[in-house]
Amino acid sequence: MLHQPLDPAAVLEDGEPPARTTSERTRAVLWLTAAFWGSNVAIFTFANWLEGHPLLYEMAGMRLLLAGLGYLLSLAILAILHRLAHRTLRVRAVVLIAAAAVAAEVYAWLSFFGFALISGGSFHPDINLANAITTVATWSWFFIAWAALCTVLEYHFDVQDERLRTAQFKALAEKAKQRALHNQVNPHFLFNSLNSISALINDRRIESADRMIDLLATYFRKMLAVDPSAEITLREEIGLQMEYLEIERARYDDLDVEIDLETGLDAATVPALLLQPLVENAVKHGVARSQPPVRIVIRARRKDGSLEIAVENHGQITRSASAKGTGLGLANVRERLHNRFGERQSLRAAPMVGGGFAAIVELPLSGAS
């Protein structure tokens, strides 16, 4: 029934517990207990008022005092059940019934002597075994009903906490998956870059290979500093891709790059490094297999409330050299888009009319002016 300590594994990376604090739960239970006993005082006092009881105010005062004592008995039961929080439901139910019976007996005798005190000689209750059993049973059910309400309240908190924990763990899992996808791209990118450096060395272009290595080291430092689960502006994303293309220019001197952004879209937000596999593919499957000059174009447009980004390579493929890939780049982008945006995204890749190839990403538009 009662709140159990949080599992340390449920504490998230920022150190904050994923559930409501113990003090919030305790405060709610205390208020519920006060309302329960307060309603008891109000109901019986109202009944005395309806019958025109001559000791109305004295009776009301005594009931307030008895309610305070009942409140303390309830807290005692609460403390006992807290200590049994890790025991089975059957054990706690038996203990609750026994504790409620004891509390009922104590409360019944306190009520008897309290009302006898304020009534003087006019209070002559009929004390017999039947009345005793009825009184104890009545107050036992009162305490059990209170415990049941506390159980419902605790269950409500548990459900809310579980929902919060589930949402937070889903967010952590999503973040971990994004990092895994990012770490999958890094070797893929490095593999392609090392192939380019190897080609430069085979062509005896040592200075270009050295320059490409320097540019690659600088780019990797910047790329590894980017949080793959974060979103950056389209301007920043394209800036990273321009640095990568600068690396490729060490190999392809005649590579031309064109950026075509619709006004205001430079501030739109996109998942970090989303375009990198697409730009890599444009170089590997377009530039590397076409006669110069070759042009890569990155376009961004608004489309029905969405952001459409196209990475195009404009060139006529004439070289027979194999550029067979693993398909990892496009698959990675598709998975990242699906994980981040669900069905509100798409990725299309197809040849263009007149030659060349285009990969087109569509995702929700956010952050644009």
Q: Is the pLDDT of residue 166 over 60?
A: yes
What proportion of the chain, given as a percentage, has pLDDT over 90?
13
* pLDDT attached to residue 361: 96
Q: Is the pLDDT of residue 238 over 80?
A: yes
* pLDDT attached to residue 272: 86
Q: Where are the domains of the chain?
A: 8-169, 203-364
Mean pLDDT of the chain: 78
* pLDDT attached to residue 115: 77
The model's confidence at residue 308, banded by pLDDT at 50, 70 and 90, is very high
* pLDDT attached to residue 312: 92
The model's confidence at residue 184, banded by pLDDT at 50, 70 and 90, is low
CA pair distance 84, 86, nearest whole angstrom:
6
Candidate ranges 181-195, 329-343, 354-368; pick with highest mean pLDDT: 354-368
User: Which comes out higher in pLDDT, residue 106 or 154?
Assistant: 106
* pLDDT attached to residue 297: 93
Section 305-331 average pLDDT: 72
pTM of the model: 0.52
Q: Is the pLDDT of residue 346 over 90?
A: yes
The model's confidence at residue 342, banded by pLDDT at 50, 70 and 90, is confident
CATH 3.90.1580.10 matches 203-364: no
Section 133-159 average pLDDT: 78
* pLDDT attached to residue 176: 65
The model's confidence at residue 175, banded by pLDDT at 50, 70 and 90, is low
Section 51-68 average pLDDT: 84
Q: How many CB atoms neighbour CB 77 within 10 A?
A: 22
Section 315-330 average pLDDT: 59
Longest dimension (CA), the chain: 119
Tens-digit pLDDT profile for residues 63-120: 889 888 888 888 888 888 778 778 887 887 788 788 888 888 888 888 877 777 777 6
* pLDDT attached to residue 14: 43
State how beta strands 294-303 and 255-261 pair: parallel
* Listed range (94-98, 186-190, 224-228) with the worst mean pLDDT: 186-190
What proportion of the chain, given as a percentage, has pLDDT over 70?
80
* Alpha-carbon separation of residue 348 from 25, 31, 188, 193, 305 (angstroms): 51, 58, 21, 25, 18
Section 156-175 average pLDDT: 76
CA pair distance 268, 290, nearest whole angstrom:
33
| Helices marked H in 120-205 | 129-202
The answer to whether residues 265 and 220 touch, using CB atoms and an 8 Å cutoff, is no
Nearest CA among 290, 273, 189 for reference residue 229: 273
Q: Is the pLDDT of residue 8 over 50?
A: no
User: Which comes out higher in pLDDT, residue 187 or 248?
Assistant: 248
Q: Is the pLDDT of residue 165 over 50?
A: yes
